[in-house]
Amino acid sequence: MPGFKTKTFVLFLALLVAWHELDKRACAKEKPPQRSRTVQGKSLFIANGCLDCHTVGKKGCEEGVQLDDVGKRRTREFLKEHLRDPESHVKKNKDAFHGDPSLMPNPNLSEKEVQLIVDYLVTLKR
Ligand code: HEC
């Protein structure tokens, strides 16, 4: 049968192209890579002006309250409570804050933001 080989070859090529297109579509459907919770927490920490009053490493306000080892000193629960309502948290934990009233304004974070920032804070263990 003349031309049979050519037809088969063209069909084969068409199949290859179709397969390749399918592959591309499968690739585009993939979820974009998720930034880790720690990285998201760090961005929120910066975006919410926490460095106006705190230091981490060499960043932030020089005479601010340092948080370099806060992940070693405090528990996750302690940090969450502080971020939800610093004033009542400090009142409730006089020993931890030397009996001084809180000078930290309520950052008004959503519960999700609190969780993400705490995920970042617990990694600070200088
Ligand atoms: C206007 C200044 C100010 C800002 C802004 C501020 N803080 Fe504070 N923060 C303080 C002060 C002062 C303390 C010490 C305890 C107190 O007064 O409440 C403190 C305490 C803390 C503590 C407890 C530290 C410990 O040793 O237990 C954490 C955690 C904390 N802040 C996180 C944050 C985060 C996260 C943000 C941003 C969302 C933030 N702070 C914004 C002033 C501030």
Q: Taking 90 as the threshold, does the pLDDT of residue 3 lie above it?
A: no
Q: Give the pLDDT confidence score for residue 27 in this predicted structure.
A: 63
Q: Name every residue whose Cβ is closer than 8 Å to that of residue 40 and which is 6 or more positions away in sequence.
A: 116, 119, 120
Pocket test for ligand 1, best of 50, 78, 97, 114 (most atoms within 8 A of CB): 50
Pocket test for ligand 1, best of 48, 51, 70, 82 (most atoms within 8 A of CB): 82
Pocket of ligand 1 (CB under 6 A): 45, 48-50, 52-54, 65, 70, 74, 79, 82-83, 86, 90, 97, 102-105, 107, 117, 121
| Per-residue model confidence as pLDDT tens digits over 72-106 | 999 999 999 999 999 999 999 999 999 999 999 99
Atom of ligand 1 nearest to the CA of 101: 17
Q: Give the pLDDT confidence score for residue 32 in this predicted structure.
A: 65
| Per-residue model confidence as pLDDT tens digits over 4-61 | 788 888 888 888 888 877 766 666 666 666 789 999 999 999 999 999 999 999 999 9
| Per-residue model confidence as pLDDT tens digits over 49-73 | 999 999 999 999 988 899 999 999 9
Q: Give the pLDDT confidence score for residue 19 in this predicted structure.
A: 82
Q: Give the pLDDT confidence score for residue 38 in this predicted structure.
A: 95
With vertex at residue 65, the alpha carbon angle to CA 121 and CA 122, rounded to the nearest 5 degrees, is 10
